[in-house]
Amino acid sequence: MEVLDEFNLHQRLAQSAGVSLVLFTSPTCGTCRHVEQRLPQAVPPGTRLYRVDVQQAQALARAYDVFHLPALFLFRDGRYHARLDCELTPTALQATIERALAAPAQEEP
C-alpha cells in the first residue's frame, strides 16, 4: 500500500485512472492494523490502494473530516467519490463500491 500525505495525495490520485481507495489509519490503532492486513485481499482486482498515516498527515485528516479510524474513501479517475463504510470482505466491499459508483459523486469534504 503506497503511503500518501498532504503533499502528494492529489497529485498521485490525479495520475490514477480507475478506482482507488484511500485508507486513513494510524500505527497506534489496533483496528487500523487489522484493516491494513485484510484490505488488500478484499479489494476488487484493478483497484489501487493507498494509505494515509494521520499522525504524519494531520492536515489531510482534518481536511477529510476524519474523526474515527480507520476511514476509507473512494476515488474514481483521481476525483473524490464517496466515503465507504462496510464490512471488509470481498463481497461486501465490492457491493459497497458498486453502489457508491452507481450514485452521483459526493462533494469532497
Scan for cell 494510524, then name that residue.
26
Q: Quote the domain boundaries for residue 32.
A: 2-102
The rounded Cα 8 to chain-centroid distance in angstroms is: 15
With a cut of 90, say whether residue 89 has pLDDT above it: no
Average pLDDT over residues 55-78: 95
Q: Does residue 70 belong to any structural domain of this protein?
A: yes
| CA separation for the pair 52, 75 (Å, rounded) | 14
Q: To which H or E segment does residue 58 belong?
A: helix 58-63
Q: 109 lies in a domain?
A: no
Residue 65 lies in a domain: yes
Query: pTM for this structure?
Result: 0.94
In a domain, 77, yes or no: yes
In this structure, what are the phi and psi dihedrals at residue 52, rounded to the nearest 5 degrees?
A: -120, 120
**pLDDT of res. 1:** 87
What is the domain count for the chain?
1
Q: CA-CA distance, 29 to 8, in Å (whole number)? A: 23
